[in-house]
Homo-oligomer: A and B are copies of this chain.
């Protein structure tokens, strides 16, 4: 299944979660068995070399991140919303497209000096991904690559991540936001 065919499986929902926003909904892609498998195939081919683990951002980043980690035979590090992890964490507050939020990781799940590939379903302004990368670096990981299913380039997330030393790749782009 080509990237264009995968893009055609994304559902666009107008005015969600706020007026004027075109929400790119991945659930119609993942509910398609061929679409889900092909997405993970493409992502596996796009993974950089020498990756030791995959990190995914709650909740939709768990979907692609875990499937990709399993395909690559790597471990998965969950980047969670505040209060979900049962152990001592490191946390970061950040602004996202529509609100403010806090994410956390368990730093003991990351080995110092190992390359962790950051995965999420979609990059918009890049705020969540940047906060996640900073947390992974704070825990000692090398986090210099991020992989997304969807990029909304007009929102500048990929540029912002590049400025922080993070190479990004995505399977598809959508104009507008």
On A, residues with C-beta under 8 Å from B are 11, 13, 16-17, 23, 25, 27-28, 30-37, 40, 53, 58-60, 62-64, 66-67, 69-71, 73-78, 80, 84-87, 106, 109
Q: Are B66 and A62 in contact (CB under 8 A)?
A: yes
Q: Are A66 and B66 in contact (CB under 8 A)?
A: yes
Complex-state Cα separation, A91 to B131, whole angstroms: 32
Q: Are A36 and B69 in contact (CB under 8 A)?
A: yes
Q: Are B13 and A74 in contact (CB under 8 A)?
A: no
Copies in the assembly, this chain: 2
Q: Are A33 and B69 in contact (CB under 8 A)?
A: yes
Distance between A85 CB and nearest chain B CB, rounded to angstroms: 7
Distance between A1 CB and nearest chain B CB, rounded to angstroms: 12
Distance between A22 CB and nearest chain B CB, rounded to angstroms: 10
Which of B25, B60, B63, B67 is A87 in contact with, Cβ under 8 Å? B25
Q: Are A74 and B33 in contact (CB under 8 A)?
A: yes
Distance between A13 CB and nearest chain B CB, rounded to angstroms: 4
Which of B25, B36, B76, B84 is A70 in contact with, Cβ under 8 Å? B36
Q: Are A76 and B30 in contact (CB under 8 A)?
A: yes
Q: Are B40 and A63 in contact (CB under 8 A)?
A: no
Complex-state Cα separation, A75 to B63, whole angstroms: 12
Q: Are A106 and B70 in contact (CB under 8 A)?
A: no
Q: Are B31 and A75 in contact (CB under 8 A)?
A: yes
Distance between A135 CB and nearest chain B CB, rounded to angstroms: 15
- What 13 new A-B contacts, CB under 8 Å, besides A25-B86, A66-B66, A70-B70? A11-B87, A13-B86, A17-B86, A31-B53, A33-B69, A33-B75, A34-B73, A36-B69, A36-B75, A37-B73, A59-B80, A60-B62, A70-B71
